[in-house]
Chain A
Amino acid sequence: MSPKESKKSILDLSRRRALLFDGAMGTMLFSYGLPFGTPPELWNLSQPEIVLKIHKKYIQAGADVIQTNTFGASSLKLKKSGIEKKMDKINKTAVKIARKACPDGKYVAGNIGPTGEFLEPVGKVKYKDLKKAFSEQAEILRSAGIDLFSVETMYDLREALAAIEGVREVSSLPLFICMTFEKKTKGYFTLMGDEVSSSLKKLEKAGADVVGANCTLGSKDMIRLVSVMKKSTKLPLIVQPNAGMPKLVKGKTVYLQKPASFANDVLKMIKLGVSFAGGCCGTTPEFIKMIKKSLTGLEYKPSGL
């Protein structure tokens, strides 16, 4: 499928039915024994068969889109672990693994997360540095053969805009972008204080194709957020909530929400008009399977134009 066709197909398809993203990659890698402090992206090189297995499980569970294991694979983020020289290989291999797991008619999303650096004046990096880092990573993902971009967990609108600009410098593939919002007394805000409506409007203007939210919030808290997002943009919406709020049990983080209650919340969001849904921290193939099951016979009315 050429990039143009793929762009048309996934966005067109989403006008007819809700599409499912995968669930957490990190949660799964830890369950397969990813050791303490190892960047998950390194397993693309050292344990590719496990990454492949996880992708396949999500496909089997009913995901339409799987996301490459490249969330922290921008040069700025990898630099924190001193492995930025492996950036090219990590990203390329990640796409190769995902492609191998992806049958015809399903999609591979090149996953991009925040750099972990703060922009001036709070931090030291400049907008152009962020844009460059995103554009570098995007180019490797694009040339390795992804179908779309999935930028996630953005807590700073300016960094999100740098990501869109960076991606758009090298590719016109469908671009999905999720901000991460906290629930405050006066509504939903990012860590940097960006509010929902103006954020989504700016992302739309900057060239995103699909906008939404992931992480930080559990599925319950994300339902209200969807109502706010719906009023803010003409673009299709995506949600990837966490499996409830984490609890610490004997020094390990556990997400206690059960797949059925998660799927029930996601279904409510799709009924509100969400077109793309998946899971973030704590979700597993079971969660995606449960959503898939509950979608049968659903009357689908996506928001946006």
Chain B
Amino acid sequence: MEKKLKGFLEECYNAVLEGDKQKAEKLATEAVKSGYDPYLVIENGLVQGIEKLGERWEQGTCFLPELVLGAEAVKAGISILQEPILKSKAGRKNLPRVIIGTIEGDIHDIGKTLVATMLSANGFEVIDLGVDVKSDNFVKMAKKYEPKFLCLSSLLTTTMQNEIRVIEGLKKANLRKKLKVMVGGAPASLSWAKEIGADLYAENAISAVKVAQREIGHESKRK
């Protein structure tokens, strides 16, 4: 890799580590102008930064603010870098689509939003339905947008039961086999996922990304 580009990617990586959204935007604009491969800038610059933060978060050496701000920086950069890609039809790469929401009766949004942000920072197209999402609405939106993943979040054990209704609804609408259902939130677990017939369970936002990437056979080109 030419030296100049390498330095540029490093700057992108650092902008994410510093959670500097403006810097990420400035660099992304510069990348578009200089004609750098946008995928390269996303994958080898921005996303590496968020992966590093994810690693630190798992080790307990970085915390929620760094993670959220880093993810915001990645998202801002990606949205600028995507413009030229989306303009040229040939270059359009289908991003794996995710629908996410907090289950009916539950208004907790912190964890759900963090998962949405991390997925989107890692190259997924995320449709966030918000909190207290009616079971029918999950099914309706799944029909409309045909996502690869439907992510259900819950913090209350009492409302978790509504996840069963979403899965039933998907079956009735003949959508169940067309997507993977992922569950998460403090009271969820692998055994809960199995119990209700969900496909996947993620313990936290970092693991949600890993689980989704594993499912789509994401091979990291780096390292």
Q: A248 to B105, Cβ gap below 8 A?
A: no
Residues of B within 8 A of A207 (CB): none
Q: A186 to B157, Cβ gap below 8 A?
A: no
Cα separation A185 to B64 with both chains bound (whole Å):
16
Q: B64 to A37, Cβ gap below 8 A?
A: no
A118 within 8 A of B: yes
CB distance from A26 to the nearest CB of B (A): 10
Cα separation A253 to B159 with both chains bound (whole Å):
12
| Chain A residue nearest to B189 in the complex (CB) | A248
Q: A193 to B106, Cβ gap below 8 A?
A: no
Of B54-62, B91-99, B210-218, the one touching chain A: B54-62
Residue in B60, B105, B106, B195 whose CB lies within 8 Å of A189: B60
| Chain A residue nearest to B131 in the complex (CB) | A80
Residues of B within 8 A of A81 (CB): 107
Q: B192 to A251, Cβ gap below 8 A?
A: yes
CB distance from A157 to the nearest CB of B (A): 11
Q: A36 to B105, Cβ gap below 8 A?
A: yes
Cα separation A206 to B60 with both chains bound (whole Å):
28
Cα separation A81 to B109 with both chains bound (whole Å):
12
A246 within 8 A of B: yes
Q: Which of B47-105 contact A (CB under 8 A)?
A: 59-66, 68-69, 104-105
Contacts A37-B156, A193-B65: A248 and B187 contacting too (C-beta < 8 A)? yes
Q: B156 to A193, Cβ gap below 8 A?
A: no
Cα separation A190 to B63 with both chains bound (whole Å):
9
| Chain B residue nearest to A250 in the complex (CB) | B195
Q: B69 to A37, Cβ gap below 8 A?
A: no
Cα separation A193 to B66 with both chains bound (whole Å):
9
CB distance from A52 to the nearest CB of B (A): 23
**Which of the listed residues B158, B187, B188, B189 has the most CB atoms from chain A within 10 Å of its own CB?**
B158
Q: B159 to A36, Cβ gap below 8 A?
A: yes
Residues of A within 8 A of B162 (CB): 36
| Chain A residue nearest to B62 in the complex (CB) | A193
Q: Which of A2-25 contact B (CB under 8 A)?
A: none
Q: A251 to B160, Cβ gap below 8 A?
A: yes
A122 within 8 A of B: yes
Q: B63 to A248, Cβ gap below 8 A?
A: no
Residue in A118, A122, A253 whose CB lies within 8 Å of B157: A253
A85 within 8 A of B: no
Cα separation A221 to B189 with both chains bound (whole Å):
22
Place the interface of chain B in its size category: 20 to 34
**Which of the listed residues A81, A116, A248 has the most CB atoms from chain B within 10 Å of its own CB?**
A248
B191 within 8 A of A: yes
CB distance from B84 to the nearest CB of A (A): 29
Q: B59 to A191, Cβ gap below 8 A?
A: no
A125 within 8 A of B: no
Q: A248 to B60, Cβ gap below 8 A?
A: no
Q: How many residues of A are in contact with the other chain, CB < 8 A? A: 24
Residues of B within 8 A of A80 (CB): 107
Q: A121 to B60, Cβ gap below 8 A?
A: no
CB-CB contacts of A188-204 with B at 8 A, as 1s and 0s?
01111100000000000
B137 within 8 A of A: no
Cα separation A184 to B63 with both chains bound (whole Å):
11
Residues of B within 8 A of A121 (CB): 65, 69
Cα separation A186 to B64 with both chains bound (whole Å):
16
Q: Which of A173-192 contact B (CB under 8 A)?
A: 184-186, 189-192
Q: A37 to B61, Cβ gap below 8 A?
A: no
B173 within 8 A of A: no
Residues of A within 8 A of B59 (CB): 185
Contacts A36-B159, A37-B159, A189-B60: A253 and B105 contacting too (C-beta < 8 A)? no
Q: B156 to A36, Cβ gap below 8 A?
A: yes
Residue in A37, A185, A193, A246 whose CB lies within 8 Å of B105: A37
B110 within 8 A of A: yes
Residues of A within 8 A of B60 (CB): 184-186, 189
Q: Which 5 A-B pairs have the closest CB atoms?
A: A193-B63, A37-B105, A184-B60, A36-B158, A253-B157
26 intermolecular pairs with C-beta atoms under 8 Å apart: A30-B158, A36-B156, A36-B159, A36-B161, A37-B104, A37-B105, A37-B106, A37-B107, A37-B158, A37-B159, A80-B107, A118-B68, A118-B110, A121-B65, A122-B64, A122-B65, A185-B60, A186-B60, A191-B63, A193-B62, A193-B64, A246-B187, A248-B191, A250-B195, A251-B160, A253-B157
